[in-house]
Copies of this chain bind each other. A is one copy, B any other.
Amino acid sequence: MTTGSFLRATAFMLVSAVAIGHAQQEIGVPVPPLGNGPFVFDTAEQGKIRVTVVTRGLSHPWSIAFLPDGSMLIPERAGRLRIVKNGVLDPTPIAGLLPVRTDGNGGLMDVALHPRFAENRLVYWTYTKPVENGKGTPSLARGRLDAHTLTDVKDLVVPDAYEGNGGLNGRVAFGRDGMVYFSTGGNIAKVAQDPASLRGKILRLRDDGSVPPDNPFAGRTGYRPEIYTLGHRNTLALIVHPETGVLWNNENGPNGGDEINIIVPGRNYGWPIVSFGREYPGPRISEHPTREGMESPLVAWLPQIAAAGMTIYTGDRFPRWKGNVFVGSMRVGGIAGTGHLERIVFNAKTEEIRRESMLNDLRQRIREVRQGPDGLLYLLTDEDDGALLRIEPAS
């Protein structure tokens, strides 16, 4: 019996090692193709909701940026940047991206608009940059969007590269201070704790990629001056709280221990010294999940939910959801076919009160969740035939 368990465990570990963040059918429940919808679900505090398939045909879409005209920029993991306008997927991808490494983890990922995009048309994106000898690294680039073409394209940050598929993810967000915040995956040995490495960090940069002199480690010997925070395993969401302006991230634990963190400059978030999670074969990452001198997560998940995109709702269409945090889940506890949308309620002191799991019956990997200009929620499914979903009240 235990031998059988262990063999299955080992198989799972190997699968996970090569395909973290990708669909794993080896262990899971059958996933029916996403129907045409709309789908209506009961929710705990907002009555019935309707989920509409806005468009499909997106190959592993990763994130959403809303353009001033209401259309959306949506990167596909395989390296195409798409436009959805008036609910229609433009068949022509945007030209001018830099080459993207698309094997294994990573690919083309996040996209963000410059705060003055309307004037300067600057678009920022994160992608896995291919490096010699099969290495790769999560990089930040920017370009100027003219119709369907990016011009003046250049890399702003190209962190240290490693072989393998670990830590290739990156997210980008603009702070209220006008600075660019860029997260880099760090689940490679102990690089997340190495102040001389840009991996496993959140970096703070000017909009041209230069380093602001007031960064927390600027001028400290042995520290890269771009570093804003350390000790991140694999950040899959990086957002600015719409009310406080404070930066929040979420990151994937290994087997257990996904977490949401409030990002405080200069702090260490612990990976791989402390974690709520376990290595895939079973041993705990650390005897204790927290310790003095390391930031404890605001929210932790046991088991892990393969947390992805995150948003904090501020609209008027779902009055009971105001201030709630929404997180996409791609897979719960290592079981394929269990992706869903999580809703977390906090009190006035940002202390967790409860969590709701939604859209479970769709069995989709929810990669991204964003609030639209119309106050509705928009989701992306991380599937070969990925879909853009819209959630609206149905009662």
Q: Which of A277-336 contact B (CB under 8 A)?
A: 278, 280-284, 287-291, 296, 299-303, 314, 319-320, 322-324, 332-336
Nearest CB on B from A340, distance (A): 10
Expressed in whole angstroms, the Cα–Cα distance for A27 and B43 within the complex equals: 10
Expressed in whole angstroms, the Cα–Cα distance for A353 and B280 within the complex equals: 7
Instruction: Give the residues in chain B near A256, CB-CB below 8 Å.
Output: 352
- Sort chain A's interface into a size bin: 35 or more
Expressed in whole angstroms, the Cα–Cα distance for A255 and B302 within the complex equals: 14
**A176 interfacial by beta-carbon distance below 8 Å:** no
Q: Which of A1-53 contact B (CB under 8 A)?
A: 1-6, 8-9, 12, 27-30, 42-45
Expressed in whole angstroms, the Cα–Cα distance for A278 and B346 within the complex equals: 12
The contact of A42 among B30, B301, B348, by CB within 8 Å, is B30
Nearest neighbor of A338 in chain B, beta-carbon distance = B357
**A148 interfacial by beta-carbon distance below 8 Å:** no
Expressed in whole angstroms, the Cα–Cα distance for A9 and B361 within the complex equals: 27
With A1-B243, A303-B354 given, name 12 new contacts (CB 8 A). A4-B319, A5-B322, A5-B348, A282-B347, A282-B353, A284-B351, A287-B290, A288-B288, A301-B302, A303-B355, A333-B356, A335-B356
Residues of chain A touching chain B, judged by Cβ–Cβ distance below 8 Å, are: 1-6, 8-9, 12, 27-30, 42-45, 243, 255-256, 276, 278, 280-284, 287-291, 296, 299-303, 314, 319-320, 322-324, 332-338, 345-349, 351-357, 360-361
The 10 closest A-B pairs by CB, nearest first: A282-B351, A333-B355, A334-B354, A1-B322, A2-B348, A9-B353, A1-B323, A6-B348, A29-B42, A282-B347
